[in-house]
Chains A and B, each alone.
Chain A
Amino acid sequence: MTALDTATPPLSGRPLAGSPRSGPSLARIALVGNPNCGKTALFNALTGSRQKVANYPGVTVERKLGSLVTPAGRRVQVLDLPGTYSLRARSPDEAITRDVVLGRQVGEDAPDAIVCVADATNLRQVLRLVLELKQVGRPMILAVNMFDIARHRGLEIDLEALARALGIPVVASVAVRKGGTVELMRRIDALAEAMPASVETGSITTGDWTEPAADEVRQAHREADRILDLVVRTSGRPAIWTTRLDRVLLHPVAGIVILLVVLFLMFQAVFTWATPAMDVIKDGFAWLSAMVNESLPPGMLRSLIADGIIAGVGSVLVFLPQILILFLFIILLEDFGYMARAAFLMDRLMGGAGLHGRAFIPLLSSFACAIPGVMATRVIENRHDRLTTILVAPLMTCSARIPVYTLIISAFVPHATVAGVIDLQGLVMFGLYATGIVSALAVALVLKRVFWRGAVEPFLLELPNYKLPDPKNVLLGVLERARIFLRRAGTIILAMMILIWFLSSVPGAPDGATDPAINYSIAGRVGHAMAPLLEPIGFNWQISIALVPGLAAREVAVAALGTVYAVSAGDDEALRSTLATTLAAHWSLPTACALLAWYIFAPQCASTLGVVRRETNSLRWPLFLFAYMIALAYLAAFATFHITTALGL
């Protein structure tokens, strides 16, 4: 008896789902396989740069669609489905694979054929999946990938015997080598020819697939073993290099040391090495702005182009160096096979803090900037852990907060030493950093308890054999991330930047005005209107106004304060020191402390919201992020203001 999961009723002999169409019978194939079988490399080899990445509706699972052209000139769409061990879904990713294969995925045409991708060195594991897929009844080809590695290890597989035993065509493939997919493409052509010339929906019926119960999985094991015995002529040598490397990389002490070095290098790369490129981009766009300012007559149009559009586009592109570097690291480590080892080593450390082992990388990157950090949360497979990490990453003290902190610290914290050794200003900065980290951990714990009721996921992770990363695949992966950022997040960020420019510049200052122009703009009115709300936390109307353009990015607050206080200077440094003097004269210490506390928590970054929107594929989470951070910011500023006032500082 099979245990039927009520959420997935069985389809017996029902026609294929999908919109009615008649056309070429082999229009779309789906790639299915275990994780770590080189499926992505195969997808890249088949489709090259003809790929489009989007999201499946309503979920954060990425949809990868490409197209290939067969030797006979057929154009076929290829859908790369998330890796899985069985059609029984344990996660949202695997649910997509199951639903697309069964033709149940909303808004998705069912695939006309399935290419099952296998790791030649671990046929045993994928054979169970192949047997399950056969139950579904779609035309299928088995591509035994990484065949070169198998041959190198002396593993000999009789592909014809395998084809006979399974009843489906079987080909060898080497996705990373030129010409390694020729056999597969020929097979796809052969399959297309064997299918009827055109298809009306309903002519192909799916077989019976139900969720296998434990004993059915055992049966599949036995069947897979039987087939394996038939087709493997020699089993070859074990993976010696993997064993040797793991002796060091998974050594309880050496392993952790190496991991810390790797993480430190990654952090340095994102924090420091990206800076020259970022400066080039910033300077480039500043120059472009200046050119426009010189060539066009003053007015709204010039301001829109120079300060709105150009500055907006610049503010999106400036994130690219960090994203490219971070993902270069991540993809190299993932393809090499090290990420799984890192998760193994970090599990106990992170578990104690209530976070997932793989959260270490995105959170560390968020010290540089939360934008690549939030994007990096995709290394966390578990949906709840990923969301939690996305929601707390912005609390890590990012580098954009530093200009604000530095401004206020240099204006209000005296050059003193504590205990004669520790510099007071440095200590305050450290305190701000520490508060950011502690608050991130605290919020993570609360989120887990409130939202996911502290459910514990079993830690079941395969440690794949080490592989030399293929440069082409790594490059494609990195460029894909950049493309996704620019298209999905970039458009939102640019829109918000232009909106903020609009609020800060319209309407312009009337003739003969004495106050800075920003006072007359919508932002100015909003700032003045908000001032009574911010009074209890010690903010004056100048701060209220500066916070509105400050929504664009945290460091913008410094320039915004300069504008409001009508302080202008040649460069950032000069601006800061002049502004510091002005603020020291105008603000009280409690107000300054309250603003510091505000900045630890406040969501003064439109780009973060844009990228969270993209990564969560919903509006709910960026809105929730904004709401809880503003609430925390207000409470923290309130408490700080009143406590420092009461202490008579």
Chain B
Amino acid sequence: MPFESAALSVASSRTSASLGTRAKGFRGRIVRVGGPDLRGLPVGDGVELERRLLEIGFIENALVEIVHEGLIGRDPIAIRVNETTVALRRREANAILVEPVG
């Protein structure tokens, strides 16, 4: 039983989840920017958001770290990606899929 739950916990820690759901201090790697199943955004806006995220520096396989978050509702968040630090609302950060690293 302990072996099984250990295996399960390893699997869940390697699961991808949206960057917007992560806590301050999270370090990870980008799995996907944008994509077909962006929650809560009309299709056109999703395409636009994906392009803007790519333009400002978010790209698959890049390492990211959440370095700050706002006081009210822990929003917005500041994310370091490569040499750039970008501030985003969690709602928009949900368009980025990340997996933890290290």
Contact = CB atoms under 8 A, between A and B. Distances in A.
A246 B52 contact: no
Contacts of B86: 460-463
Interface in A208-259: 213-214, 217-218, 221, 242-243, 246, 250, 252-253, 255-256
20 contacts: A124-B82, A124-B83, A125-B82, A125-B83, A128-B55, A214-B50, A214-B51, A217-B54, A243-B67, A246-B68, A343-B87, A347-B76, A348-B71, A348-B73, A348-B75, A458-B52, A460-B56, A460-B86, A461-B87, A463-B85
A221 B54 contact: yes
Given A122-B84, A217-B51, A246-B67, A459 B89 contact: yes
Contact of A217 (B55, B68, B72, B73): B55
B49 interface: yes
Contacts of B87: 340, 343-344, 347, 459-463
A88 to B, nearest CB: 7
Contacts of B60: 218
A90 interface: yes
A190 to B, nearest CB: 30
Interface of A: 85-86, 88, 90, 121-122, 124-125, 128, 213-214, 217-218, 221, 242-243, 246, 250, 252-253, 255-256, 340, 343-345, 347-349, 458-464
Given A217-B54, A348-B76, A458 B92 contact: yes
A218 B67 CA distance: 25
Given A340-B87, A459-B76, A253 B55 contact: no
Contact of A85 (B55, B70, B73): B55
Given A214-B51, A217-B55, A461-B87, 16 more contacts: A85-B56, A125-B57, A125-B82, A125-B83, A125-B84, A214-B47, A218-B59, A252-B70, A347-B89, A348-B70, A458-B52, A459-B76, A459-B87, A463-B78, A463-B87, A464-B85
Contacts of A252: 69-71
Contacts of B83: 121-122, 124-125
Nearest to A220: B54
Most buried by B among A86, A88, A214, A218: A214
A181 to B, nearest CB: 24
Interface string B33-73: 01000000000000101111111110110000001111111
A252 B51 CA distance: 30
A192 to B, nearest CB: 32
A218 B88 CA distance: 20
A347 B88 CA distance: 10
Contacts of B82: 124-125
Contacts of A348: 70-73, 75-76
B76 A90 contact: no
A347 B82 CA distance: 24
A90 B78 contact: no
B78 A88 contact: no
B77 to A, nearest CB: 9
Nearest to A224: B59
A462 B52 contact: no
A412 B73 CA distance: 47
Q: Most B CB atoms within 10 A — which of A90, A128, A253, A348? A: A348
Contacts of A460: 52-53, 56, 86-88, 92
B31 to A, nearest CB: 14
Interface in B84-100: 84-89, 92
Nearest to B72: A348
Contacts of A217: 51, 54-55
Nearest to A122: B83
Contacts of B85: 242, 462-464
Given A340-B87, A348-B75, A462 B56 contact: yes
Nearest to B92: A458
A459 B92 contact: yes
A516 to B, nearest CB: 57
A124 B84 CA distance: 9
Contacts of B76: 344, 347-348, 459
A150 B64 CA distance: 22
B71 A218 contact: no
Contacts of A86: 55
Contacts of A344: 68, 70, 76, 78, 87
A404 B49 CA distance: 50
A340 B73 CA distance: 19
Contacts of A218: 54, 59-60
A461 B76 CA distance: 10
Contacts of B71: 252-253, 255-256, 345, 348
A343 to B, nearest CB: 8
A460 to B, nearest CB: 6
Q: Which of B69, B75, B87 has the most CB of A within 10 A?
A: B87
Nearest to B52: A460
Contacts of B51: 88, 213-214, 217
Contacts of A90: 52
The 6 tightest CB contacts between A and B, nearest first, are A252-B71, A348-B72, A217-B54, A463-B85, A250-B68, A461-B87
A85 to B, nearest CB: 5
A213 B89 CA distance: 24
A220 to B, nearest CB: 9
Contacts of B57: 124-125
Contacts of A242: 85
Contacts of B75: 347-348
Contacts of A124: 57, 82-84
A349 B71 CA distance: 10
A458 B56 contact: no
B70 A347 contact: yes
Contacts of A462: 56, 84-87
A122 B81 CA distance: 11
Contacts of A88: 51, 55
Nearest to A464: B85
B61 to A, nearest CB: 9
Nearest to B62: A221
Contacts of B89: 347, 458-459
A128 B51 CA distance: 13
A217 B28 CA distance: 22
Nearest to B24: A252
A40 B35 CA distance: 37
Contact of A458 (B49, B72, B78): B49
A122 B84 CA distance: 7
Contacts of B68: 246, 250, 344
Nearest to A129: B55
